[in-house]
Amino acid sequence: MRLIMTACALLLLTACPEDPRDADPTTAPTGGEVGAPPAGGSPAAPDGGVPGEGARPDNARFEVADGEGVTLSGTLNYEGSKEGAMRIDFLTLGENAHPQLVHAAGFPGVGDFSIDVPKDFGELHLVAFIDVGGDGPSPTDPAATTSVTIAGEDVTGVTLTLSDEPDLGVLTPGGSTEGAAAPGPETPPPGGEEGAEGAPPEGAEGAPPAEGAPPEGAEGAPPAEGAPAEGAEGAGGG
């Protein structure tokens, strides 16, 4: 009898499942642990910047190796009263005359300026401006522009006289190429407006009579199609 009770006790012990609270934790890694994606839902850029963000325009810089550059120098003039940081943007014109910033530099103010440029760079457009709002170039900033060609020799004597109402052409900040506007949804097609949708052309069966024509059956109106002419044999009447 004792043997039977012992066997039953062993059977009960082996049949009972382990309490989940006593089991070893096997939870997934939390944020910051190995294998977890970074917070925010997107991987960080290798250099610590925002993923997909290109270089800022202010980071545009000439790369001039020793002995591979020439000096571009001149004078900045301004007789107005607006104040702000003096800057020069160096640009090229790409396809469709689209300006592209290749270098940006700040200067103490009016007076002489000098900068090193790669040899044989080619055509270069300079836009000097006073950054009144501290937000980069804008159409209301005093500015001036000129163009030079960089070859294998120094370029000197460049003069930029800033104006409160500059004419920068395609280099105007915020400017865009003008073009013909596409026709809007209410613009009539060439050659006049279309007739009402579903209306039959004038003269077709079911179309209203032409302006000034008497209605069918009125005096002076032609007989209806298929009806004998008045006075003809078979016509009604005396």
The residue extents of the domains of the chain are 57-165
Judged against a pLDDT cut of 70, whether residue 145 lies above it is answered with yes
User: 60, 88, 72, 80: which is closest to 145 by C-alpha?
Assistant: 88
Question: What CATH number does the domain located at 57-165 have?
Answer: 2.60.40.1120
153 touches 73 (CB < 8 A): no
Residue 195: pLDDT band with limits 50, 70, 90 = very low
Least confident interval from 40-49, 115-124, 181-190: 40-49
Look at residue 199 in the predicted model and tell me its pLDDT.
52
173 touches 138 (CB < 8 A): yes
Look at residue 174 in the predicted model and tell me its pLDDT.
72
User: Virtual CA dihedral for 97, 103, 107, 113, nearest 10 degrees?
Assistant: -80
Residue 107: pLDDT band with limits 50, 70, 90 = very high
pTM score, whole prediction: 0.51
**Maximal CA-CA distance, the chain:** 137
Residue 87: pLDDT band with limits 50, 70, 90 = very high
Mean pLDDT computed over every residue of the chain? 70
Look at residue 223 in the predicted model and tell me its pLDDT.
56
Look at residue 96 in the predicted model and tell me its pLDDT.
84
In terms of DSSP H, where are the helices of 1-66?
Answer: 2-15
Residue 77: pLDDT band with limits 50, 70, 90 = very high
Q: Which residues pair with 104 in a beta bridge?
A: 89
User: 31, 30, 28: which is closest to 39 by C-alpha?
Assistant: 31
Distances (CA, A) of 154 to 75, 98, 105, 136, 208: 15, 27, 18, 29, 83
